[in-house]
Amino acid sequence: MTDDPADLSDLHRLDAVRAVLAEKRAELETEIAVLAAPSGDLGGIGFGKRVGEGTALAVERLSQVAAHDRLRALLADVVRAQAKADDGTYGRCDDCGEPIAPARLEALPWATRCITCQAQPR
């Protein structure tokens, strides 16, 4: 495989990428739905001096919120990669327009930024 994203235009390869992205999207949507579902016991949450069941429940819920946010961000990347596959720009960095390294795309098919741009803060 070369660094040229045109090599990715091979229909078989692009179809395989689309299948991986669709599978990842479905997985993320399911995980997000589970985290977004109302918890059975919302009473008794407190941040008192003693670590009790309410405090543990509150800490768990805060962890779930953070996980939910990470999953939503990852889902946005997957959706963006799907759009790029559809519009013919898959394999090109959203920021600089340069090719994304094939090894990066192999590891993270939903990558929309090259390593250099990803390392820079937005």
- Average pLDDT value for residue range 85-94: 95
Give the span between the Cα atoms of 80 and 92, in whole angstroms: 12
DSSP letter, residue 7? G
Query: Could you confirm whether domain 5-119 is CATH 1.20.120.50?
Result: no
pLDDT per position as a tens digit, 28-82: 999 999 988 876 655 555 555 565 556 777 777 778 888 999 999 999 999 999 9
- Domain map (residue ranges) of the chain: 5-119
Give the span between the Cα atoms of 120 and 97, in whole angstroms: 15
> Is the CB of residue 110 less than 8 Å from the CB of residue 77?
yes
- Average pLDDT value for residue range 4-19: 74
**Sign of the Cα pseudo-torsion (79, 81, 87, 92, in order):** positive
Where is 5: in which H helix or E strand?
A: none
Amino acid symbol at 108: L
Quote the pLDDT of residue 71. Answer: 95
Give the span between the Cα atoms of 18 and 41, in whole angstroms: 39
pTM, full prediction: 0.75
Give the span between the Cα atoms of 6 and 36, in whole angstroms: 39
- Tokens at 107, concatenated: 């590891």
Quote the pLDDT of residue 1. Answer: 45
Q: What burial class does residue 94 get, using C-beta atoms within 10 Å of its C-beta: 0-12 exposed, 13-18 middle, 19+ buried?
A: middle
> Is the CB of residue 48 less than 8 Å from the CB of residue 58?
no
